[in-house]
Amino acid sequence: MSVRQLKNPDPANDRRVTQDSKLATRGSASARTRQFLISAIVLLLSAYLFIDPQSMKSAAGSYALCSRDGDKVYTVDAQNSQTQCIVVQGAYIVDRGSLQHVTNRWNRFSLNKLISRRASVETRFIEPGAIIVPGLSDSHGHILEYGAAQGLPLEGTKTIQDTVARVRNFILANPDIHNDTTKFIVGGGWDHTVWPSTGWPSAADLDEDPVIRGRPVVLQSKDCHALWVSSKAIEASLPFPESVDGGIIVRDDDGNPTGVLLDNAQELLKQPELTEGDLLRRFRVAVRDAHALGLTSIHDAGLDPASLAFFKRQAEVGTLPLRIYGMTFFDETKAYWGNVTTPVIGAGNGRLTARSVKIFADGALRTGGAALYEPYADNPSTNGFMRLDPEVLFDVIPKFLRDGWQVNVHAIGDRANGIVLDAFEASLKGVNVTASRPRLEHAQIMTEADMKRLGRLGVIASVQPTHATSDMWYAQDRLGPERVKGLYAFRSLIDSGARITLGSDFPVETMNPLFGFYAAITRLSPDGQSPHGPDGWFPEQRITRQEALRGMTIDPAYASFTETILGSLEVGKRADYVVLSQDIMTVPANDILATKVLVTAIDGQAVYHG
């Protein structure tokens, strides 16, 4: 008999055993669950303790910038949306939204936040009434020339004698210059269009002053298209040629140079090479003022070929103090270089790019060098001139486009703009215009047909609103009542489908971007005046505040191929922003110029505090 057969099975007992087993199992599972939860909590606490305590308070370089007044962050995204806060980590924007959203996501303790190890951020608030906008850009300026002009600024002088007196006082106020008669005296900003006398100033006007006489003096005009120089400055450059292609040597009745050189003739004047110290001083002056005015990016328009070489050297030794989009000067007398020169993209910690070429087609309206279809109304003997043979444009533009360069062409007069558009139209056949993004620099006087052609071709119009409010006082005398309607016609350009980007052409005009914003939306001078009254000069050509803000932020970013990282306050973009003391998008227009820059930040770091 087996052992199994000796047992007398009891079903009730079996059930009790089964139930006890289940209870035991449940108890064991419950214990395991408790143990798991305890372990998880321990692990989470360990993770918490393992996180750098400082990073839990505020990650290095991380903060939320908010307005207590509500949605006062103008993001300039595709929807032109506004929000209350942006969150900055390091050099980038990582979030945006309401204060509650930022608090919940970044500063309120939660299990999800702990698991994700998201560091808390410091919350900073802007002043009541202030707003936040993307870092402002100037699409057309001259950085080192600005620094030079600030040394001896001549803007605002009312007569030739007033200008001469300012030069004399500058010499007397600087002993190192006063004691060295060989030192070149350089200044800029004189504007003969506001002087009561007609005609050009002369070397004789400078030489009449006993303090100035015998010194080399070089004075750049307001529009940078003319030099007024002393006899001593001319001496080392003689003899001059009889004529200059694309330029004029102003002469007296006997054929002698009077002391004024226009456009390409300026290149005839020999001047001492600038030292690195000279360039650094000029650069620091420009950077200082740019930061104070809310500029984080400047498109340097290649007036001086030495400028770009200097910027490259600065980028090699460290991070540039602002973003520079440099245009390489085109010299038609030299061999084509687009296929043997490599564009610079993102040097100096991403702050220097030079992938465009700057070509001058004609002169300037102020000095009578803009190339027009019909003669000037106030000087019927001329219709201006092209600074290069139009065939050069048809030759080099397609080459530069083929070799991956953006082509930016200075064109002022209606004839110059028409010729340049002819060359662009011929060169852009089969070319991806979105990839090449050619630019018309100034686009000042255009026929209605050419405005429409500009929009159809997709060529960017780089315009300067403060030119309009400076030139409006003499423009009709120079162009006549009908032709002047096509001058600075910004609304017509936009309505034709063209994309515009705004700049100042400093030092020709003030560097302050708010002056450009105000001029674009009012067509008034800073004191609220215009030849057409308080509604503005040709008020139908005003643009909206939203268009003006985009023209100073996202549109310059597009024009410099950086719209994916700059130009708007969106997640993933560089944290370049400006805090303005009041809301320029809503305050009365006549209050805009009272706005102050409170903070300018580049890559999330404040470079200026007002």
Residue 503: helix, strand or coil by DSSP? coil
- Residue corresponding to tokens 């595709």: 78
Residue 404: helix, strand or coil by DSSP? coil
Strand partners, 409: 359, 440
Q: How confident is the model at residue 119 (pLDDT cuts 50, 70, 90)?
A: low
Q: Which range among 174-178, 221-225, 481-485, 600-604 shows the weakest confidence by mean pLDDT? A: 221-225
pLDDT score of 500: 97
Residue 239 lies in a domain: yes
Residue 341 lies in a domain: no
Q: Does the pLDDT value for residue 450 go beyond 90?
A: yes
Q: Does the pLDDT value for residue 53 go beyond 60?
A: no
Strand partners, 86: 65, 96
Which tokens is 44 given? 């989470």
Strand partners, 132: 73, 579
Q: Which range among 61-65, 105-109, 153-157, 283-287 shows the weakest confidence by mean pLDDT? A: 105-109
List the one residue out of 258, 181, 175, 267 whose CA is nearest residue 217.
181
List the one residue out of 185, 236, 237 whose CA is nearest residue 215.
185
Q: How confident is the model at residue 302 (pLDDT cuts 50, 70, 90)?
A: confident
- Residue corresponding to tokens 């070319």: 431
Neighbours of 448 (CB within 10 A): 12
What is the C-alpha separation between 443 and 323, in angstroms, rounded? 25
List the one residue out of 217, 213, 260 whose CA is nearest residue 240.
260
pLDDT score of 54: 37
**Phi (first) and psi of residue 8, to 5 degrees:** -110, 100
> Domain residues for 196?
143-268
Number of domains in the chain: 1
Greatest Cα pair distance, the chain, in angstroms, is 149
Residue 601 lies in a domain: no
As a whole number, mean pLDDT of residues 114-141 equals: 87
Asked if 85 and 65 count as a contact pair (C-beta separation under 8 A), the reply is yes
Which tokens is 411 given? 């064109």
Sheet holding 62-66: strands in order across?
92-97, 85-89, 62-66, 122-125
More confident residue, 61 or 538: 538
List the one residue out of 150, 151, 143 whose CA is nearest residue 291.
143
As a whole number, mean pLDDT of residues 337-359 equals: 95
- What number of residues does the chain have? 610
Which DSSP string corresponds to 322-342?
A: SEEEEEEEP-TTS---TTTSP
Neighbours of 600 (CB within 10 A): 25
Q: Which helix (H) or strand (E) holds 221?
A: strand 217-221
Q: How confident is the model at residue 3 (pLDDT cuts 50, 70, 90)?
A: very low
Q: Which range among 8-22, 85-99, 138-152 shows the weakest confidence by mean pLDDT? A: 8-22
Which tokens is 158 given? 């009312």
List the one residue out of 210, 207, 323, 315 whose CA is nearest residue 258.
207
What is the C-alpha separation between 175 and 178, in angstroms, rounded? 5
Neighbours of 173 (CB within 10 A): 9
Could you tell me what percent of the chain has a pLDDT over 90?
81
Q: Cis before residue 239, ω within 30 degrees of 0?
A: yes
Please report, as a single letter, which amino acid is at residue 114.
Answer: L
Q: Does the pLDDT value for residue 126 go beyond 80?
A: yes
Residue 235 lies in a domain: yes
pLDDT score of 236: 86
Q: In Å, how far from its chain's centre is CA 429?
A: 29
Which DSSP string corresponds to 200-239?
A: ---HHHHHTSTTTTTS-EEEEETTSSEEEE-HHHHHTTPS
pLDDT score of 52: 40
Residue 450 lies in a domain: no
What's the CATH code of the domain at 230? 3.10.310.70
Neighbours of 288 (CB within 10 A): 15
What is the C-alpha separation between 245 and 320, in angstroms, rounded? 37
Asked if 139 and 437 count as a contact pair (C-beta separation under 8 A), the reply is no
Residue 327 lies in a domain: no
Residue 245 lies in a domain: yes
pLDDT in tens, 321-346: 999 999 999 999 999 999 999 999 99
Mean pLDDT of the residues in the chain: 90
Which tokens is 579 given? 């805090």
Residue 160 lies in a domain: yes
Please report, as a single letter, which amino acid is at residue 426.
Answer: A
371 secondary structure, DSSP code: -
